[in-house]
Amino acid sequence: MVVARRREEGCREKKVARYTGAVCRLCRRSGEKLMLKGERCAGPKCAVERRSGPPGPRAARFKRLSDRGIQLREKQKARYIYGVLERQFRRFFANAEKRVGVTGETLVVMLERRLDNVVYRLGFADSRSQARQLVQHGHIVLNGRRTNIPSFLVKAGDTITWREGSTKTEYYKQVLESIKSKSVSNWLSLDRERLVGQVLSLPARNDIDTKLEIEHVVEYYSR
């Protein structure tokens, strides 16, 4: 009975491990666009544009936050943007603390180096969640080897391509057309004809356009 109960609890934990609700609610809760749904966030259908208030039946306006509340909000924003679970995020922060340099900047750079984020930055996907699916389903090849780990950290000189079988899909053909109008980060290069990306260097803080007050995240975990 005890073993069966533990298995049941484990199943429950797996089911609730990742947020499966409407991601537009996360943007409304943060009070700004987090670009979680790609092109939809930039269009008139964006939930933040249509309903600027926070989610909930009685949430007419945002409440004034304490210092701790502001720190928590920034930490949650970082998690939502990069699609990272709390335990994973704590692990990233712990690794960033151990490295030489400013902890906040090191943390953001590590998050940017995630393979799913690089696939998104190269324009292979419209959102990080879509990029995560591409990696998990085995469509992406890193340095000649198929890699299905979204959290894998790339390094300078790495090459990101598509699996040969994936180049025959309809989605790949759509990416070939849409990639022409997309820009690529300065620390990456892209062959738009063959859809081959390369990491030129590790990203610097000024290369990252993510709007985060990362010092609040450091303060949150430092208490």
Maximum pairwise Cα distance, the chain: 59
Query: What is the distance between the alpha carbons of residues 171 and 165, in angstroms, rounded to a whole number?
Result: 12
Task: Tell me: pLDDT of 60 over 80.
Answer: no
Query: What is the distance between the alpha carbons of residues 2 and 210, in angstroms, rounded to a whole number?
Result: 46
Question: What pLDDT is recorded for position 154?
Answer: 97
Q: Are 198 and 188 in contact (CB under 8 A)?
A: yes
- The model's confidence at residue 16, banded by pLDDT at 50, 70 and 90, is very low
Which helix (H) or strand (E) is 142 found in, with range? strand 140-142
Q: What are phi and psi of 204, to 5 degrees?
A: -95, 165
List, in sequence order, the alpha helices (H) in 137-169. Answer: none
- The model's confidence at residue 10, banded by pLDDT at 50, 70 and 90, is very low
- The model's confidence at residue 4, banded by pLDDT at 50, 70 and 90, is very low
Percent of the chain at pLDDT above 70? 72
pTM of the shown model? 0.77
Mean pLDDT of the chain, nearest integer: 81
Q: Are 106 and 120 in contact (CB under 8 A)?
A: no
Mean pLDDT of the 125-140 span: 93
Counting beta carbons within 10 angstroms of the beta carbon of residue 122, is it exposed (0 to 12), middle (13 to 18) or buried (19 or more)? Answer: buried
Query: What is the distance between the alpha carbons of residues 51 and 62, in angstroms, rounded to a whole number?
Result: 13
Q: Which one of 33-37, 38-42, 128-132, 206-210 scores highest in mean pLDDT?
A: 128-132
Query: What is the distance between the alpha carbons of residues 85 and 166, in angstroms, rounded to a whole number?
Result: 28
List, in sequence order, the alpha helices (H) in 83-201. Answer: 86-98, 103-112, 115-121, 128-136, 170-178
Geometric angle at alpha carbon 185, from 111 and 216, rounded to 5°: 35
List C-alpha distances in Å: 85 to 103, 113, 131, 209: 19, 16, 16, 22
Query: What is the distance between the alpha carbons of residues 62 and 54, in angstroms, rounded to a whole number?
Result: 7
- The model's confidence at residue 222, banded by pLDDT at 50, 70 and 90, is confident
- The model's confidence at residue 156, banded by pLDDT at 50, 70 and 90, is very high
Question: What pLDDT is recorded for position 210?
Answer: 77
Please tell me the least confidently modeled range out of 10-19, 36-45, 109-118, 122-131: 10-19
Q: What does DSSP say about strands 196-199 and 159-162: parallel, antiparallel, or unpaired?
A: antiparallel
